[in-house]
Amino acid sequence: MAVQVDSILGSREIVVKALGPQFSHVHGLSGATVLGDGSVVVIVDIPALVRAEVQRGRDAMLDHKPQQMEQRNPLVMVVDDSVTVRKVTSRLLERQGFEVLLAKDGVDAVTQLQTAEDLPDVILLDIEMPRMDGFEVASRVRHTSRLQDIPIVMITSRTGDKHRERAHQLGVNRYLGKPFQEITLLQTIGEVLGETAAS
């Protein structure tokens, strides 16, 4: 999903009015407003569009699973040595209906992955962590047959080309910088879930 913005006119307070029944079937619109020159402008609900994209990724993943398996919400593993990052990210994901598994560093993540009955559908992975960094975790995941197909999204303050290239060589699916935008993260998770289901 992408949203193209031709120009930014500025910030202003507006009165949002409900749309008529003729627009009830149009998703992603929260209402409309009348500008000072009398023109009517519809209000796009970006979070609603992102939620719909994430849901499509979930539905695609569930549709491709064997019917005898119990359907569940996607499980996301968050691997970060920052308590704050783990809390903020897990709350965001839980609000969107994801199940969340937390790991405080690379060693903790690998240990949980080796013993877990239910593997995560996506791993959100920091790079700089004590004991074992994100690159080592990604390498172990990609070289373990049971884990190698799990999508990995790296989220790090290390946004230079050198780190991106190394992540790409290890098979990381997406690379996001910190601090991340909530909408961007949710959209990225939806994309990798959809790609996994289609493969």
pLDDT in tens, 45-85: 777 777 777 777 666 666 655 554 556 799 999 999 999 99
* pLDDT digits 0-9 by tens, 174-185: 999 998 899 999
Check pLDDT > 90 for residue 39. Answer: no
pTM > 0.85 = no
- How far apart CA 25 and CA 164 sit, in angstroms, is 41
What superfamily does domain 68-198 belong to in CATH? Answer: Response regulator (3.40.50.2300)
Span 29-49, average pLDDT: 78
State residue 145's pLDDT score.
94
Q: What is the pLDDT of residue 68?
A: 46
